[in-house]
Every structure is written in C-alpha cells, then in structure tokens.
Structure 1
Amino acid sequence: MSRSRFRPCIDLHDGQVKQIIGGTLSETAPETLKTNFVSRLVYNNLEGGHVIKLGPGNDAAARDALSSWPGGLQIGGGINVNNAQEWLDAGASKVIVTSYLFPEAKFSLERLEALSSAIGKDKLVVDVSCRKRGEGWFVAMNKWQDITDMEVTRESLNMLSKHCSEFLIHAADVEGLCQGIDEALVTKLGEWIAIPCHISSYLVAGIDDLDLVHQLSGGKVDLTYGSSLDIFGGSLVVFADLVAHDSKS
C-alpha cells in the first residue's frame, strides 16, 4: 500500500502568503474576506507542494517562489493554454488549472484536451475543488464562488485523469476552518481516483489527520497543511513536528 504524504502549500493574495477561509474569497465583495493569518514565510525542500495565486497582483511573488526552488513547486491561479508553458519555463514542476476548463461554468473537454496536448499530461494538474450540494460535491471555480455543472464522481474523475497526471482538491465550504477531515469525501476519493491526488489544507486540525487520511483513502490521497501550522499563526501543528512525523511514515 502507498502512504499518504504531507505536502506544502502556499496561497498568495495581494502578493502575500495568506491562509484564507475559502468560501469568503470574492472579488465583488472583498470586505467579506476572512484571513486566518498573513505570513512572509515561504518554505521548501518538501516535494509535490503548490503555490496558488488568488487573484491579480501575485505574479511577482509567485515567480519569486518558483525561482527559489526550480522544479520543486506546482503553480495555479489563472492558468490557461496561452500561459501554461510560460509558468513551466519560470520553474514550476506542473501547472494547476480549474476555471479555464469551465467557460460560463460549463465543462469544456475541448479546452482540457488542448491544454494537455500543449504541455503534456504529465505537466498538468486538474483542480477539482468542490462545494457540497445535497449528497454530492460539485466543482467550484472563480475563487470557489461559482458552482459548475461537473459533479465529482468516479466517472468524472476517470474522464479527467485521461488528460492530466494529478488532482488537487479543496473543499471550499470549510477551507481554512481547521475543524478536521471530511471523512466522507476522503473515503470516496480513495475509492474513485486512479492517479495521484492531494487535498489542500482546508480541514486539517492536527498531525493525526495525516494518518486518518491514509487510513480512509488507502494511502491514495496526500494532504497539505496551512492554517493549523505554527508558521502560519496556527496553534494546532508545529511545522517541525509534522516534517518529522512524515519522514517516519
């Protein structure tokens, strides 16, 4: 059995590293934004991490992060067929895409095929970040404000996996709340996915959550930490302890 790993994540907003409560991020109502912590810390030397640009004004900071560790970080936020190669050339290991695949909130297989063909599926991560609707989850775009027509299911993930090498998932309804793992979602992902997948830091409450994700997903899902970490102002997880725990797994 594979082992669920800890991965680092960096969210950039207004050029700063921030841990944001995802469902509050809106361009039309910026006053509703809830930020857990603002940090100038950027950490590296952990493989498979990502940098997400949340809106404009973050390109310079993102390039700084990528140049500090060429080939060590994935990049997301505003990625499309016209700029994907540019970000790979800037040092990203892979690019992460969501909104470009959903013009007017409707999935475009044509766009996915074009992007995958342009850079190669091995360089492409599809962000299937989602919000709960009824008993299921639907992909959300535009900073998780708009719900698309794609439900996260075994069938949709299998279709997407033909054109990408990895999935990134945020559960935007509870992003940054540090209230523990969405066990139902993690369990389903363990049943459904056939390629690497990592869940971003949205729910993490403690180090033990990494072991729980491993148990629920059968080791298929990796986990990133953010708001709960001491380096981001959290009190639940000491970064050094997490790295040590991960290295012993």
Structure 2
Amino acid sequence: MTQFRPCIDLHQGKVKQIVGGSLNDKGATENFVSQYDAEYYASLYREHNLTGGHVIALGKGNQSEVMNALRAYPNGLQYGGGVKESNAASYLEAGASHVIVTSYLFKDGEFSWDRLDKVKRETGTDNLVLDLSCRRTADGWYIATDRWQTVTSTQINKENLLELADHCDEFLIHAADVEGLQAGIDEDLVRFLSYDSPVAITYAGGARSLADLDRVKQLSNGNVDLTIGSALDIFGGQGVTLEECIAWNTSNT
C-alpha cells in the first residue's frame, strides 16, 4: 500500500531542497537551505518510526553529514550518491539499510550489467536500490545520470523494469523534469508504474500537498510510495506537514 517516504537531500554540505533539473557543476536553484543538519532530520525520522527514507548526497562535500545521518538512524535510511563497487559495502557498514546506485551502472551512456554484478557482490540483492530517475522524451522516459544531466539510452519500460527487478530490493524513481517545482506529480509516469512490480517502487518529483499521496495511491493502485520534499513544512514548504504525512501513513497501513 502507498506510503509517504522521507528524504534528506545534501548539497555542498547542507540539507537543501533544490530544483532537480537545475543541478550542475556550478550549483543549483535552491528552494530551501536548512538551519539544521542531516543528523537532526535522521533523528526526527527515527523518532516517528518513518522507514524506507533516503539520504542523497548531490556532489562533493557531503560525506560527514551522510555519516552523521546514518549513525543517527542505523538501518533506517537508504544512501545514494557516488555509490560504486569500491565503496558500497562501507555505507552498509556505516548504518545504511540499502545503498542506492545510478550513474556507476552506466558507461558511455549504456547500461553495464558487469558493473551491476560487481555492486551486487558487495551488497547482495536485498540491500540494493536501483535509482532509475528519469527525464521525459517524445517517446517515453529514459534514465538520467550524472545529477540528471545525462539522458541514457535505457528506457523506463515494463520489460526493463521486470528484468532489473531480479537484481535489487527496490526502485527509486525521481521524475527529474518536475523535481523541486511543486507543480504536481508526473501522473503519467506514476500511472505507468502501477504495474504489478515484484519490488517496491518509490516515486519522487513535484508533490505539493497531502492530496498527492491520495493521487499516487489511486493512480498506482497502491503499488507506488511517494517522497515529498520542497512542499513539506520541515523543508520550508507550505503544502503539507510532516505530522499530516505520518497520520496518512498510519491510516493507510
């Protein structure tokens, strides 16, 4: 059944909410920069028993914040950002419940099954989340890597999702074109993801109110979870409160 999932996005060593499509080497368009650190948010999620959330490091300069968050909520947060074969196990040892992998799985824009196998040997299938964040094109959605700036040749379609599901525990899918805009979810993408997936799917991008949880539940037949970022009161938003999301989860368990 659809659930709200929390997040901690880190950029330049700070907890932020940004416009996803604006992220590049020079910076990003910021919706919110928190006065609190990652440990504060991890402890908050732990206090309220919110599970399945993720902490994402967007670029360099975030590792101390990442480690503080993982220590504050051991086995309660997934971690993504620069994860590859050589460091995947270290994040699990530091307290992450799962590691989230995207860009490492692609070489010259093409998906690498060899790299996926190498990561799996370090993490196991049960501790691996595949980030299939994507951009919309004229003929569907394609996975985007390198902070969502590089659109790969791998399409988000049922065949690919079913094949990849054999190699991970969950999918995380940001709709990069609407991420951080608070202009509404990509309903077509959520509806597409309503197929009977053998693994859990979390969608992120554009959510702006509690009604979006109801909408995702309806569109996906309860098969997709939702992350809400910029619209959430704890990130300076005015669309929905964390308290409301917690109550929604309880009522939809």
Q: TM-score, normalised on structure 1? A: 0.95
1:234 corresponds to 2:229: no
Q: Is the contact made by 1:157 and 1:192 (CA closer than 8 Å) also made in structure 2? A: no
Partner residue of 2:58 out of 50, 54, 58:
54
Q: Is the contact made by 2:196 and 2:223 (CA closer than 8 Å) also made in structure 1? A: no
* Corresponding residue SS for 2:193: helix
Q: 2: distance between equivalents of 1:85 and 1:151? A: 28
After superposition, what is the alpha-carbon deviation per residue over 1:71-110, rounded to whole angstroms, capped at 9, x for unaligned?
0000000000110000000000000000000012211011
After superposition, what is the alpha-carbon deviation per residue over 1:166-190, rounded to whole angstroms, capped at 9, x for unaligned?
0001011111011112111011111
Q: 1: distance between equivalents of 2:196 and 2:16? A: 31
User: 5 Å matches for 1:18-33?
Assistant: 18-27=16-25, 29-30=26-27, 33=28
Please name the residue that 1:136 is paired with.
140
Please name the residue that 2:89 is paired with.
85
* Corresponding residue SS for 1:149: strand
Q: Match of 1:171, as an amino acid?
A: A
Moved over 4 A (4+): none
Instruction: Number of aligned residue pairs: give it.
Output: 243
Deviation at 1:118? 2.3
After superposition, what is the alpha-carbon deviation per residue over 1:205-228, rounded to whole angstroms, capped at 9, x for unaligned?
110111111111111100011100
After superposition, what is the alpha-carbon deviation per residue over 1:8-67, rounded to whole angstroms, capped at 9, x for unaligned?
01100011110010000001x43xx21100112513120000000000000000000000
Please name the residue that 1:11 is paired with.
9
Deviation at 1:135? 3.2
1:37 corresponds to 2:32: yes
Gaps of 5+ in 2: none
Q: Is the contact made by 2:129 and 2:169 (CA closer than 8 Å) also made in structure 1? A: yes
Partner residue of 2:224 out of 217, 221, 232:
221
Q: Is the contact made by 1:154 and 1:193 (CA closer than 8 Å) also made in structure 2? A: no
After TM superposition, the structure 1 stretch with the greater mean CA deviation from structure 2, 209-218 or 93-102, is: 209-218
Please name the residue that 1:247 is paired with.
250
User: What is the RMSD of the two structures over their aligned residues, measured on CA atoms?
Assistant: 1.1
After superposition, what is the alpha-carbon deviation per residue over 1:103-124, rounded to whole angstroms, capped at 9, x for unaligned?
1221101111221122210000
* Corresponding residue SS for 2:237: coil
* Corresponding residue SS for 2:60: coil
* Corresponding residue SS for 1:156: helix
Gaps of 5+ in 1: none
Deviation at 1:161? 0.8
Q: 2: distance between equivalents of 1:193 and 1:135? A: 22
Q: Is the contact made by 1:8 and 1:225 (CA closer than 8 Å) also made in structure 2? A: yes
